[in-house]
């Protein structure tokens, strides 16, 4: 519920900033600046509640800010070479964000990705269709897609595409099972509705085909208790 409320606030602030930018012009720069500060604060709060370590908080916060800042520059800059460059790095950055941010957040990564995509679309939405993409921008965009695919292939070999991406709680649980209990090769999962926020307990379950079942309780980047059944 906290993330939902903050997300709605962020969407509303983004729409308001975009409308003021289009309709009011420079006379409303101070108000736009104030709204920008509120957007940054909202992004920080989302990062805070969706992570439980200082490094994770800073990583998620700065990653989201940089990604949205590039979207704003791409739309509002009048230099073609900057637009072409940003067209190249846009998709690779988005792919990298998708593959790495989930190791630091506690909630479903698709929520954050969809939220960022929505906010970026608001900031980059064209008010008038005067500036159409030229051939150079289209080529830059295709180069960005190729780099994004290369990043995916670097992280995941083609034979591993079916592998599920683990969330933060599952990664910590796997490390605990292997290093503290000496248990390897277990299937580890957290139900979607059990992925909680900072300071809350999350139930992580692990099992294998031999009948070993482990229930772990995760809180603030550590496993605080576990129960093994055979």
Model confidence over 36-74: pLDDT tens digits? 899 999 999 999 998 888 888 998 898 888 888 877 776
In angstroms, the CA 132 to CA 151 distance is 28
Report the percentage of the chain scoring pLDDT > 70: 72
| pLDDT for the residue numbered 81 | 63
What residue segments make up the domains of the chain, in order of their start? 2-160, 168-229
| pLDDT for the residue numbered 103 | 78
Average pLDDT score over residue span 194-223: 86
**pTM, two decimal places:** 0.73
Straight-line distance from the first to the last Cα atom of the chain, in angstroms, rounded to the nearest whole number = 37
Model confidence pLDDT, tens digit, residues 145-197:
676 666 656 655 443 444 566 778 888 999 999 898 888 888 888 876 667 78
In angstroms, the CA 23 to CA 140 distance is 31
In angstroms, the CA 153 to CA 150 distance is 5
Sign of CA dihedral 76, 81, 84, 86: negative
Sign of CA dihedral 148, 154, 156, 158: positive
* Residue 161, φ and ψ in degrees, nearest 5: -60, -25
The CA–CA distances, whole Å, from 226 to 24, 90, 176, 213, 230 equal 58, 42, 10, 10, 13
């Amino acid at each position: 519920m906290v993330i939902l409320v903050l997300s709605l606030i962020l969407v509303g602030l983004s729409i308001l900033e975009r409308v003021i930018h289009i309709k009011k012009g420079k006379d409303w720069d101070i108000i736009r600046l104030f709204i920008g500060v509120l957007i940054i604060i909202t992004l920080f709060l989302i990062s805070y509640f969706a992570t439980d370590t200082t490094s994770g908080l800073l990583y998620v916060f700065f990653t989201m800010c940089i990604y949205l800042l590039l979207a704003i520059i791409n739309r509002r800059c009048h230099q073609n070479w900057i637009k072409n460059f940003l067209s190249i790095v846009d998709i690779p950055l988005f792919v990298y964000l998708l593959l790495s941010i989930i190791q630091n957040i506690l909630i479903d990564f698709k929520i954050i990705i969809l939220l960022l995509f929505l906010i970026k679309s608001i900031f980059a939405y064209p008010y008038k269709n005067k500036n159409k993409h030229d051939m150079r921008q289209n080529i830059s965009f295709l180069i960005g897609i190729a780099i994004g695919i290369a990043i995916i292939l670097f992280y995941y070999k083609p034979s591993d595409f079916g592998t599920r991406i683990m969330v933060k709680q599952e990664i910590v649980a796997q490390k605990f099972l292997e290093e503290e209990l000496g248990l390897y090769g277990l299937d580890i999962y957290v139900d979607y509705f059990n992925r909680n926020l900072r300071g809350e307990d999350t139930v992580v379950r692990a099992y294998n085909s031999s009948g070993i079942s482990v229930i772990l309780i995760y809180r603030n980047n550590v496993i605080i208790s576990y129960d093994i059944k055979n």
